[in-house]
Structure 1
Amino acid sequence: MADTEWEAKVKGLLKGELKRRNVSYAQLVDKLAAIGVVDSEPNIRNKLSRGKFTAVFLIQCLEAIGASKLNLE
């Protein structure tokens, strides 16, 4: 797969987890802040829109929303 395809896959995984838990971007900002990660809603929206973010950001988001498992399919 090309990098753009990997980016789209990762973006879809995180967006899917947010949707399954009914977490909006604004709520994600609050949940991230609760674990000590400060970010703005527009910045998070841009990261997810582009699909370019670090593995650290992905894990922070998953931790913040209470996701203990991630299905890669």
Structure 2
Amino acid sequence: MSCKGGVALAKANQSYTTENTREKIPGGQRQGLSGGRGGKMNREPGTGGLQPQSYEAWEQTAKELIEIEMMRRGIRYKQLSRLLEGQGIYETPDQINRKVNRKRFSAAFLVVCLCAMGVETLSLK
């Protein structure tokens, strides 16, 4: 996948089951993960086994991905806000700060933040 500006993210070789991946079974019941907070994910990053990790832990991991890359690059929320404008995302530094600290953002927001900061590869180990 490529970001604007020619930055590319490496695809991980692991496969994951996400909250939106559900299999419809007869009788109107759904098989899969529980929707919402407190649900369990099937796989832990970097492992092939079925080691459950809470949804909150995944949210924390996503938050840390943004924060770690910001620290590595010496980027503050004000600068991230300006970088996101270049990607077509217009949010104030305070809005971004609250979104990240509350762990309430989409996968798309995570990816655009990483792209805007110039992250070329991402290891999920």
TM-score, normalised via structure 2 length: 0.56
Q: Greater CA radius of gyration, 1 or 2? A: 2
Q: Percent identity?
A: 34
List alignment gaps of at least 5 residues for structure 2.
1-52
Higher strand share: 2
Moved over 4 A (4+): none
CA displacement 1:8-67 (0-9 Å, x = unmatched) = 111111110111011100000000011211111111001110112101001110111111
Report the count of equivalent residues.
73
Higher-RCO chain (CA-CA 8 Å, sequence separation at least 6): 1
Normalised to the residue count of structure 1, the TM-score between the two structures is: 0.92
Q: Alpha carbon RMSD of aligned pairs, Å?
A: 1.0
- The one-letter code of the counterpart of 1:28 is L
Mark the runs of 5 or more structure 1 residues left unpaired by the alignment: none
